[in-house]
């Protein structure tokens, strides 16, 4: 079984390489010349994309073939005050540079985890429209980068709204209102508070959505702690995807702050997980959600280097 390690959005190793530089709406409206304000938004977005490319180069130099792009590349992209702004057109050159780089490195898997305000299971039609608009922005970025958009956006199910069963059924109802091009973007993840893996499997199996299994979330929120009972079903949600199954890993900050992410990854739980699934799947891509980003990945590799059951393929992938 091949395991590829990845990390989230930004590097702790590279200096001045933030892909999430922003401008608030209050800053935007303080600029008296609206065209000048929009040009500033464009300069920020161009800088963010250039830093995305720097991060991708950094990843290739370290054999990292799995990376989550930030959803904050284009500031105010979906704000009502700039709804007439065609933000993709002025970014054509920067998007093309990323596209060329990814074409030259076809093994690189890149995806997004849109912010928590992207909710698909509410009754408020304005929230749903806003969420679809945000997902549309992600799709445009993916297309501009030459990335096949299928299964590139991880979402949580959404809100419970005091009735979890109704909230699950509302997701199914809303799904029928979502354009197929947006449906195809989506993967769903079990969360640490509201919708555990059994809930998410209900939706994924019914609607044909891949399930991204988060181990830490499962330990914090479950009906049955034994996740192995669901693993085969989780894998089956990926059977129609061109991508290998992906999982999320993180470690609790402490017993008291169990749901919060630690700075690094505690390797023993991860090793136990991989030994449990060995033989069930050819490849798993493993997204590290730790405060120290790429440094957490490098430390995990260091911690696992002497593990006899692992054979390293490169600096960020191994077979078991």
For the stretch 188-247, pLDDT in tens is: 999 999 999 999 999 999 999 999 999 999 999 999 999 999 999 999 999 999 999 999
Residue 78: what pLDDT? 86
- The three-state DSSP-derived secondary structure of 60-115 is HHCCCCEEECCCCCCCCCCCHHHCCCCCCHHHHHHHHHHHHHHHHCCCCEEEECCC
The tokens 């005091």 sit on which residue?
A: 162
Return the SS3 of 245: coil
Token pair listed for 20:
């999430």
Q: What is the pTM of this model?
A: 0.96
* Low pLDDT (below 70) residues in the chain: none
CA distance 156 to 188: 6
Q: Provide, for the chain, the percentages of residues in helix, strand and coil under a 3-state DSSP scheme, each rounded to the nearest 5.
A: 45, 15, 45
Residues 6 or more apart in contact with residue 11 via CB below 8 angstroms: 17, 55, 58, 293, 294
CA distance 197 to 228: 11
Residue 210: what pLDDT? 98
């Amino acid at each position: 079984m091949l395991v590829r390690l990845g990390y989230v959005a930004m590097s702790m190793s590279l200096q001045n390489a933030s892909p999430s530089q922003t401008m608030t709406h209050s800053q935007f409206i303080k600029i008296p010349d609206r065209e000048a304000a929009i040009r500033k938004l464009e300069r920020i977005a161009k800088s963010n994309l250039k830093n995305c490319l720097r991060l991708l180069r950094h990843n290739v130099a370290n054999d990292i073939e799995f990376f989550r792009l930030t959803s904050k590349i284009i500031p105010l992209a979906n704000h009502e005050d700039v709804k007439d702004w065609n933000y993709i057109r002025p970014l054509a050159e920067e998007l093309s540079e990323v596209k060329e780089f990814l074409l030259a490195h076809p093994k690189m898997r890149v995806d997004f985890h849109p912010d928590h305000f992207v909710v698909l299971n509410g009754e408020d039609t304005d929230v749903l429209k806003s969420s679809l608009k945000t997902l549309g922005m992600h799709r445009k970025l993916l297309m501009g980068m030459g990335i096949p958009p299928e299964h590139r956006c991880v979402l949580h199910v959404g809100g419970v709204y005091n009735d979890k069963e109704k909230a699950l059924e509302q997701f199914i109802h809303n799904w029928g209102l979502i354009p197929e091009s947006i449906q195809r973007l989506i993967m769903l993840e079990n969360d640490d508070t509201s919708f555990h893996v059994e809930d998410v499997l209900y939706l994924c199996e019914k609607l044909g959505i891949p399930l991204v299994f988060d181990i830490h979330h499962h330990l914090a929120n479950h009906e049955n702690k034994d996740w192995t009972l669901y693993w085969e079903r989780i894998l089956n949600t990926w059977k129609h995807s061109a991508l290998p199954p992906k999982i999320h890993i993180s470690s609790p900050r402490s017993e008291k702050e169990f749901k919060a992410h630690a700075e690094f990854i505690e390797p023993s739980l991860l090793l136990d997980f991989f030994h449990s699934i060995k033989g069930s799947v050819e490849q798993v891509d493993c997204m590290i959600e730790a405060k120290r980003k790429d440094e957490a990945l490098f430390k995990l590799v260091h911690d696992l280097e002497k593990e006899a059951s692992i054979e390293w393929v490169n600096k960020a992938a191994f077979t078991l």
